[in-house]
Amino acid sequence: MNPAANFTEIKHPVIARDLTILRNKKTDTANFRLALSRISTILAYHALNNISLESFEVETPIQTTTGYKLGTNIVVIPILRAGLGLVDAITTFVPDARVGHLGMYRDEVTKKPVDYYVNVPDGIENALVLVVDPMLATGGSACDAISFLKSKGAREIRFICLIAAPEGVEAVQKQFPEVAVITAALDERLNENKFIVPGLGDAGDRIFGTT
C-alpha cells in the first residue's frame, strides 16, 4: 500500500507505549480507557492542526497585544459506539464543538455496516467535521458515514482513528480522496473475519467492558 498525501500515521513515544497497553489482551477496562484517552488527545491535537484562527486585541496586565480564537466551527461525529471514546479528547481542546452521532455496527456475518441511529447538527456545511472511530477495518463504516455526511452538506471532513488496516485506508481514499485520514497506527492487514491484525480486538467491547 502506498498511502496518499491525505493519510497521516502519527508517530510519538507516548502513542507507542499506549498502543501497547491497548493491544495487550490483559489490559483491564480502566487502563484501556486511560490509554485511549491519552492517545486520543494526541490525535485530536494533530487533527486540529492548521485550522483557521481569528485575531483580536487582548489586554495583558502589561499592555495590549494580539490574541487569537479558533476561526473554524468544529463538529465531532463519533460512530457509535466505540467512537464515543474519542469525543472527550476533541472537546477538551474545543469545548464548544458540537457533537453529532451516527449509530452503526458491523454485521457479524456480512461484515457490512448497519445504521441504527442518526443525529447530526445543522450547519455541518460550514464546519470542519471530525468523524471519529477507533477502528478503520474494511472501511465500510467510515465510507458509509462519510457518504451520509456529504449528502447532508459536509464539505471538509477528517477521519480520526486509533488503528487502521491498509484495506480500510485504501477504501476511504479511493472513494473520498479529499478526506484526511489520521491514525495512530497503520496495522498489517485484516484477517479472515475482517478483524485488524495485530489490532486490539473489539474496541467497543474493550472500552465499555462488554466482553
Instruction: Enumerate the active-site residues.
Output: 106, 110, 202, 205
Q: Which is nearer to ligand PRP, 25 or 69 (CB)?
A: 25
For residue 166, state whether it binds ligand PRP (rule: CB under 6 A): no
Q: Which is nearer to ligand PRP, 52 or 193 (CB)?
A: 193
Residue 199 vs residues 114, 120, 153: alpha-carbon distances, Å: 22, 29, 33
- Dig out the grid coordinates for 126 from the structure: 460550514
- Dig out the grid coordinates for 22 from the structure: 491497548
Answer yes or no: are the C-beta atoms of 162 and 135 closer than 8 Å: yes
Q: Which span (13-21, 33-41, 89-97, 130-138) binds ligand PRP, by CB under 6 A? A: 130-138
Q: Which is nearer to ligand PRP, 135 or 160 (CB)?
A: 135
Residues 26 to 85 in contact with ligand PRP, rule: CB under 6 A: 79, 81-82
Residues 159, 113, 24, 78: is their CA dihedral positive or negative?
positive
Q: How many residues bind ligand PRP (CB under 6 A)?
A: 21
What is the secondary structure of 18-40 as a DSSP string? HHHHHH-TT--HHHHHHHHHHHH
Using CB under 6 A, list all residues that contact ligand PRP.
79, 81-82, 105-106, 113, 133-142, 168, 194, 202-204
